Structure 1
Amino acid sequence: MPGFATSAPEVTHVSRHGFWLLLGDEELLVRFEDFPWFRQATIDALTNVERPSADHLYWPQLDVDLSISSIRRPADFPLLSRVTAAPARGT
């Protein structure tokens, strides 16, 4: 089975809006608005990114897995949570 040709993913810039991720000849903006779990990450954690397969990225220090398709088209992958808010204390 043939593999896929990739260079290692590289974070090229970080701003208050997100970070730019270079994947071969494509550069993508990972916006904190779309991917909020990266907002408080350190530079070290953001730049430690692996690409185990053609459409899969993994940040081991953050335990975050993402499809590259979700970065290209975040509207197609809405964030959903099954966590419910805890009741306020004293109520």
Structure 2
Amino acid sequence: MNLSAHGSSTFPVEVTHISTHGIWILAHGCELFMPYSDFPWFKDQRLSDILSVVELSPGHFYWPNLDIDLTQEIIENPQRFPNISI
């Protein structure tokens, strides 16, 4: 378990692949895919900002440099959460 700069606990998560179609993250042995069509906020962002992800609690992911906050449920079922803003 890592400690963030602010002292709160975070859990291990990592970006495993970035392609022209989307981003894959790995958390707790589960690989999740985020296509840009459902998660357009990641497209055209800096690599270092995409790689800078923390898991604040199990299944709750946060990209502090992009101010993007997603849950595993949203990633796995984007059709259930259609509010996309660009």
TM over 0.5: yes
* Structure 1 spans left out of the alignment, 5+ residues: 1-5, 82-91
Q: How many residues align?
A: 76
Stretches of structure 2 lacking an aligned partner (at least 5 in a row): 1-9
Residue 88 of structure 1 corresponds to none
Tell whether 2:39 aligns with 1:35. yes
User: Are 2:82 and 1:78 equivalent residues in the alignment?
Assistant: yes
CA separation in 2, counterparts of 1:75 and 1:18?
16
Percent pairwise identity: 42
Calculate the TM-score normalised by the size of structure 1: 0.77
- Over 3 Å counting, the alpha-carbon distance change for 1:78 and 1:53 in structure 2 is same
Higher relative contact order (CA 8 A, sep 6+): 2
Structure with greater Cα Rg: 1
Extract structure 1 runs of 4+ deviating beyond 4 A: none
TM-score, structure 2 normalization: 0.81
Equivalent in the alignment of 1:56: 60
Which of the two has greater strand per residue?
2
What is the letter of the counterpart of residue 68 of structure 1?
Answer: Q
